[in-house]
Amino acid sequence: MGRANVTALIVFGIIILVLPFVLTSPYYLRVMNFAGIFSLVCIGLSLLLGYAGQISIGQAGFFAIGAYSSGILCAAFGQSAWVGLVVGLVVNSLVAFLVGIPTLKLRGHYLAMATLGIGEIIHIVALADTEELTRLIAWIGENAGYAPEAVSRVLQPYKALTGGPSGFGEIPTINIGSWVVSTPVEWFYFIWFVVFIAMLLSLNLIHSRIGRALRAIHGDEEAARAMGMNTLPLKLGIFVISACLASIAGSLYAHYVTFISPVTFSINESILFVVMVAVGGMMSVWGALVGTLIMTILPETLRVFQDYDILIYGLILLLIMMFMPDGVVGLVQSFFGRGREKTG
């Protein structure tokens, strides 16, 4: 994957290992932990947006599916965290695959709108809870000739899964064997270990034929097809992968905060993910990482400004986008005289 990336990975790993000894305050660690969770989503998005050139403003939806699968299975049905994680992955893959087939035929702003809509629909289901859905299913079931009481008996446990806008809590934490991940430090190592693996795999992927294929699609889809490339499966594959990364992030979030409610998975969040990727630099997965860190830490540092933070936040975002079109990482690379084409 190129020497630069290997060294970067090693440095990244070392930083992860030593950071908790530098940032001793649990507060900083918590901020970092959220950054880690969100960066998982953003790594996936940068594969999709930066490499395959397909935008998605619906990642919060996949994030939500992951979180709710874990939350519901663990809190309501007493399953282990790992079951929740896997189910989340399966559900997300299915959803991403099924909606991807028609959606990824769209382009540009239309694709943006479609993904946005999908994310919002998922958000609405979480918000409206499954009560209405079950009512609908019951209605169908009864019209299909099943006994109403039988139907309602079957559906009873599924009437209130998401807890609606109030969300639900008491989600147990993850335990790996005998190790129960509980303190901010433990979470830090756990989350960032996952992020490290995600980075490693993404970098591998990018520097393989698949990664090249995706960049080819980004570069010129017509030409890519003329060179014997069947583009839709590739786009689908990367879409599913980005959804899966979001799903893992969601599961981690659910177990970390132990409480989930729909506000965390709104459109604003989806848009924020895109912003994070762009701020860090679309042309590289490292950008996703850097962008997430910046956009997660910035608001915390701006707390001192009380209400004014919103203005300064907007201002800084504005300046970054006005003067760093390739994001922070892009800027750094231009320092080292590495052109856009060689990055990644």
Partner 1 sequence: MKGRMILTILTALVFAAAMMMGAMAADKKPLKIGAIFSVTGKASWLGDPEKKTALMLVEEINKAGGVNGYPVEVLIEDDEGVEPKAVNATEKLISKENVLAIFGPSLSGPSMAIKPICEKAKIPLVSCAAAEAIVTPIEESHYVFKTPQLDSHVAVRILEQINKMGIKKIGLITDTLAFGQQGRKQLQKYAKEMGVEIVADETFGPADTDMTAQLKKIGSSGAGAVVGWTIVPAQSIIPKNMKQLGMKIPLFLSHGFGNPKYIQAAGEAAEGIIFPAGRLLVVDALPADNFQKKVLSSYKADYEKRYGPPVSTFGGHAYDAFSLIVNAMKAKKITPDMEVAKARELIRDGIEETKDWIGTAGRFNMSAKDHTGLDKDGSLELLFVEKGGKIIPLSQKK
Partner 2 sequence: MASISDILQYVFSGITIGAIYAMVGLGFTMVYNSTSIINFAQGEFVMLGGLLGVTCVGALKNMGMPAHLAIPVAFVFAVGATTLAGMLMEKVAIEPTSRLTVFHYGGIAAVVAWLSRVVLGLSIPVCVSATVVITAVLYLLLRRKTIHAMKNPTVLQLIIITIALSIMVRGIAMFTFGKDPYFMDHFVPEKAINVLGATVLPQTLLVVAVIILVVILVGLFFGLTLTGKAMQACAFNREIAKLMGINDRWMILLSFAMSAAVGAVAGYVVTPITLMEYDRGPMLALKGFGAAVLGGLGNGYGAVAAGFILGVLEALGAGLISSAYKDAISLIILLAVLFYKPTGLFGSAEAAKFKEF
Partner 3 sequence: MKFGGVMALGNVSTSVAEHSITAIIGPNGAGKTTLINVISGAIPQTKGKVRFQGRDVSGFAPHKAAEAGIARTFQNLRLFKHMSTLENVMVSRHIKTTSGFFSCALKLPSSRSDEKIIREKAIEFLDFVGLGDKANFDALSLPFGVQRHIEIARALALDPKVVLLDEPAGGLNPQETDGLATLIHKIRDKGITVVLIEHDMSLVMNISDSVVVLNYGQKIAEGTPEEIQRNQAVIEAYLGKETVH
Residues in contact with partner 3 by the rule CB under 8 A: 201-202, 204-205, 208-213, 215-216, 218-220, 222-231, 237-238, 241, 283, 339-342
Q: Which is nearer to partner 2, 53 or 66 (CB)?
A: 53
The residues of the shown chain that bind partner 2, judged by CB under 8 A, are 53, 55, 102-103, 105-110, 112-114, 116-118, 120-121, 124-125, 127-129, 132, 136, 267-268, 271, 274-275, 278-279, 282, 305, 307-308, 310-315, 317-318, 321-325
Among 2, 108, 299, 314, binds partner 1 (CB under 8 A): 299
Contacts for 128 with CB less than 8 Å, ≥ 6 apart: 164
Whether 52 and 220 have beta carbons less than 8 Å apart is answered as no
Print the binding letters for residues 18-57 with partner 1: x by CB under 8 A, - otherwise.
Answer: -------xxx--xx--x-----------------------
**Whose Cβ is closer to partner 1: residue 94's or residue 318's?**
318
128 sits near partner 1 (criterion: CB under 8 A): yes
How far apart are CB 139 and partner 2 at their closest, in Å?
A: 11
- Provide the minimum distance between the beta carbon of 187 and partner 1 in the complex, in angstroms, as a whole number: 12
Nearer to partner 3, 94 or 223 (CB): 223
H-helix segments, the chain: 3-22, 26-46, 59-71, 81-103, 108-128, 131-143, 148-155, 184-206, 209-219, 221-226, 231-257, 267-280, 285-301, 309-323, 327-335
Residue 209 interacts, among partner 1, partner 3, partner 2, none and using kind-specific CB cut-offs from 5 to 8 Å, with: partner 3
Cβ distance to partner 2 smaller for residue 237 or 280:
280
**The binder of partner 1 chosen from 143, 322, 339, 341 (CB under 8 A):** 322
Closest approach of partner 2 to the CB of residue 102, in Å: 4
**Per CB under 8 A, 323 contacts partner 1:** yes
Which residues does 209 contact at the CB level (< 8 Å), separation at least 6? none
Closest CA to 190 of 240, 244, 255, 247: 255
Token pair 């087939």 is found at: 101
- List, as own/partner pairs, every contact residues 288-293 make where C-beta atoms lie below 8 angstroms and the sequence separation is at least 24, other chains included: 288/39, 288/42, 288/43, 288/45, 288/46, 288/50, 289/12, 289/39, 289/42, 289/43, 289/195, 289/199, 290/327, 290/328, 290/329, 291/42, 291/327, 291/328, 292/35, 292/38, 292/39, 292/42, 293/35, 293/39
Site for partner 1 (CB under 8 A): which residue of 156, 166, 204, 208?
A: 166
Task: Count Cβ atoms below 10 Å from residue 334 Cβ, excluding itself.
Answer: 14
CB 25 to partner 3: min, Å:
36
Residues contacting 272, CB < 8 A, separation 6+: 295
Q: Which is nearer to partner 2, 103 or 242 (CB)?
A: 103
Short-list 16, 55, 34, CA closest to 292: 34
Q: In the complex, which residues of this chain contact partner 1 (CB under 8 A)?
A: 25-27, 30-31, 34, 127-129, 164-167, 169, 184, 257-261, 263-264, 299-307, 309-310, 312, 315-316, 319-320, 322-324, 331, 334
